[in-house]
Amino acid sequence: MARQVSIANTRNLGIIAHIDAGKTTTSERILYYTGVSSKIGEVHDGQATMDWMEQEQERGITITSAATTCFWRKHRLNLIDTPGHVDFTIEVERSLRVLDGVVAVFCSVGCVQPQSETVWRQADRYRVPRIVFINKMDRLGSNYQKCLKEIAERLSARPVLLQLPIGVEEKFEGLIDLLEMKALYYSKNPDDPARFDIKPIPDKLMPEAAEARASLIESLADIDDSLIEDFLEGRDVEAVRLRKILRAGTIGLKCVPVFLGSAFKNKGVQPLLDGIVDFLPSPLDIKPVEGINPKGEIETRPADDKTPFASLAFKLMSDPYVGHLTFLRIYSGTLKSGDQVYNSAREKKEKIGRLLKMHANKREEIKEAEAGEIVAAVGLKNTSTGDTLCDERQPLVLERMHIPEPVIHIALTPKSKDEQDKLGQALGKLASEDPSFRVRTDQETGETVISGMGELHLEIIVDRLLREFKVSANLGAPQVAYRETITKAVEVEGRHVRQSGGRGQYGHVWLKLEPLEPGTGVIYETAVVGGTVPKEYHNAVGEGALEAARKGGVRGGFPVTDVKVTLFDGSYHEVDSSEMAFSIAGSIGFKAGLAKAGSIILEPIMDLEVVTPEEYVGDVIGDLSARRGRVSALESQSGTRIIKASVPLSAMFGYSTELRSKTQGRATFSMQFGSYQSLPENVAAEVVAQKEAKKSA
């Protein structure tokens, strides 16, 4: 089947931002101007196409990333709208893993906010080229210059301004295009939202426009030496040449083109669409994807229909009409419905039942998908988020994505015994869809414990249990996901010897435990000299130690992290030694090491930003101090104060109600996970005592 759109004319892009910056509104305008939607859906009316879940429409927030396809200037745009709320950060993470470019939306009043920094760093991790859309230019207090400064200082980026506003705040009526040196005036008629008129730049704005264009050329001269001579001699440069340099700079992560507008007021979206086509990369412009073949060698797959098939499963979703959907980014080769593919991560064959193009929650069946496309497959039984599907004759495993660890737990019990099985099945489906959501059974209490990224995350999960799976459950109080680690290096012995007639069990190891940097996890290495422990038992020792770390430490029984375990000596028995014996010895040695290595409890610390009127600053800071919070910065912005602080998660349950009470509902806050830090000893003793009391109860 012939390609509808060439790979060079394909753009796989996402929209990322802080909550309430206007991502979904921008997406809705893109769908309208590209002809996908015949009417504009509004977030505040619960009518946004991309916010299709009931919970999204009720709350006016995006919870799950939604994919769609549209066309602009004969280019295919595969678009993913991502959530802004930190509780759903996995949706951003997995989208960025498979996208070639990103539109970062900033509010012209709020500028760079905490989640803006988080999603920008996620894009940095995957080296995704970006363009910026400074939205809400019609708002009171809008300040695009402050946004540019914060993008440069706080995000370490090089913003290149391509437009100037005509009018400010409520008088914002159009834009000056600094590449073409033209003025765009937008229609004030709500029945004609797509219309704008191109006119000469007004005389009174010409000096400012000329200065801004000179600044634009100067910025690009730092990226491309060929412009330096033109700049120094004051020669004008054609827009076509500037676009070419901007495209190369954007794809090479040397600069970030900046567009202005107000998506809600239908201003600036068409130039943004032009910018997506002009500056964001096609699959051919980015480095070919790399994977590891069965020999352990790095192998690349260029974006070409004729190369062997390789794709990454980046999202799973349950659809009430077609069942289990697996979203795939196809990096190379082609895929047809009915094809048999190979899951190289799990070493299993899978059959593609049907292929679908998704438009939010609507579906369009297709027969074939080519390199560079994003599609949904029906019928995959053994594929999880992050798995590679490829050609069995030339297998490789693509790099898996980073999945954040949960920071909050809640115990969940079904309202009746009859619903126990239904609850287990429903939670299993939800956990397969969302890798940042975990389910386990507490061995001591028998309770089902669910873990997630925040209170809202788990609230949505419970809401979905009731609405989608018709399972009602009782929720316990939120619990903090504490961790344990060690403070000093120790060497310990782990010995497991049993003789009970016939073949016995013999495993004997010496382990070294050392503390690691926060966020490292548990690392296992071997440094055995002279074969005192045969190689076939090395992995078993590591598995035993890692399993002991997962089961919990010696202080409060919390999972252990940030420890390096090294097997350096031991002994074995030619008849009685086995993998099981060495695994048990590894577990015994690890637990013994924790007891000697100064084990401490770690707690999640949240990065908090509170925006409050001036008169409540003292009350808010006093309340944060009472919660063991540490204020790191106090800034002024448009008649309000911004308080930045680090606060333990355990002290933040119910904070929104308390903040409303202290500020008469006038303050707002955003919070995201910062790091794990050691728990003060007096608080640690309380936490351990509470856990012991719960056990005995």
DSSP secondary structure string, 626-682? HTT-EEEEEEEETTEEEEEEEEEGGG-TTHHHHHHHHHTT--EEEEEEEEEEEPPHH
pLDDT given at position 220: 92
Residue predicted with more confidence, 358 or 141: 141
pLDDT given at position 653: 83
DSSP state of 88: G
Mean pLDDT (whole number) for 196-201: 93
pLDDT given at position 690: 82
Which range, of 49-53, 344-348, 417-421, averages the lowest pLDDT?
A: 49-53
The DSSP bridge partners found for residue 16 are 104
Residue 594 reports pLDDT greater than 80: yes
- Token match 């050609």: residue? 391
Confidence of residue 88 (pLDDT cuts 50, 70, 90): low
Q: What span, in angstroms and rounded, lies between the C-alpha atoms of 494 and 570?
A: 9
pLDDT given at position 239: 93
Which residue, 525, 506, 514, 508, is CA-closest to 488? Answer: 514
The model's pLDDT over 386-406, given as tens digits with 9 standing for 90+, comes to: 889 999 999 999 987 777 778
Q: What is the CATH number of domain 602-693?
A: 3.30.70.240
Query: Which pTM does this prediction carry?
Result: 0.72
The CATH superfamily of 7-279 is P-loop containing nucleotide triphosphate hydrolases (3.40.50.300)
Domain ranges of the chain: 7-279, 301-398, 408-480, 484-598, 602-693
Dihedral sign (CA 535, 541, 543, 546): negative
The model's pLDDT over 367-377, given as tens digits with 9 standing for 90+, comes to: 999 999 989 89
pLDDT given at position 464: 81
Which residue, 180, 182, 183, 250, is CA-closest to 220? Answer: 250
pLDDT given at position 43: 45
pLDDT given at position 52: 38
**How many C-beta neighbours within 10 Å does residue 425 have?**
12
Q: What span, in angstroms and rounded, lies between the C-alpha atoms of 442 and 694?
A: 12
DSSP state of 674: E
Dihedral sign (CA 98, 328, 461, 601): negative
Query: Which amino acid is present at 301?
Result: R
pLDDT given at position 56: 40
pLDDT given at position 45: 44
* Structure tokens that stand for 609 in this block: 């930003």
User: How far lies 309's CA from each of 343, 353, 396, 472, 528, in Å?
Assistant: 12, 17, 10, 43, 41
Residue 311 reports pLDDT greater than 50: yes
Which residue, 4, 3, 14, is CA-closest to 98? Answer: 14
Q: What span, in angstroms and rounded, lies between the C-alpha atoms of 326 and 312?
A: 10
The DSSP bridge partners found for residue 261 are none
The model's pLDDT over 283-295, given as tens digits with 9 standing for 90+, comes to: 999 999 999 988 8
Question: Three-class SS of residue 490?
Answer: strand
User: How far lies 317's CA from each of 361, 460, 512, in Å?
Assistant: 10, 15, 43
pLDDT given at position 235: 78
User: How far lies 50's CA from each of 56, 273, 466, 568, in Å?
Assistant: 9, 18, 22, 55
Which residue, 92, 98, 126, 128, is CA-closest to 19? Answer: 92
SS (H, E, C) 529-544: CCCCCCHHHHHHHHHH
The model's pLDDT over 460-483, given as tens digits with 9 standing for 90+, comes to: 888 888 888 888 888 787 888 899
Residue spans of alpha helices (H) in 190-348: 206-221, 228-232, 239-251, 269-279
Q: What is the CATH number of domain 484-598?
A: 3.30.230.10
Q: What span, in angstroms and rounded, lies between the C-alpha atoms of 178 and 163?
A: 5
Residue 658 reports pLDDT greater than 90: no
Cβ-contact 607, 672 below 8 angstroms = yes
Q: What is the CATH number of domain 301-398?
A: 2.40.30.10
What lies within 8 Å, CB to CB, of 231 at 6+ separation is 214, 217, 218, 221
Mean pLDDT (whole number) for 539-556: 92
Residue 321 reports pLDDT greater than 90: no
The model's pLDDT over 21-74, given as tens digits with 9 standing for 90+, comes to: 888 788 888 888 888 765 665 544 444 444 434 544 454 444 455 678 888 999
The answer to whether the 408-480 and 602-693 domains have the same CATH topology is yes
Has domain 408-480 been given CATH number 3.30.70.870? yes
* Structure tokens that stand for 139 in this block: 């708002």
The model's pLDDT over 201-255, given as tens digits with 9 standing for 90+, comes to: 999 999 999 999 999 998 998 888 888 887 777 778 899 999 999 999 999 999 9
Residue predicted with more confidence, 83 or 478: 478
Strands 101-107 and 130-135: parallel
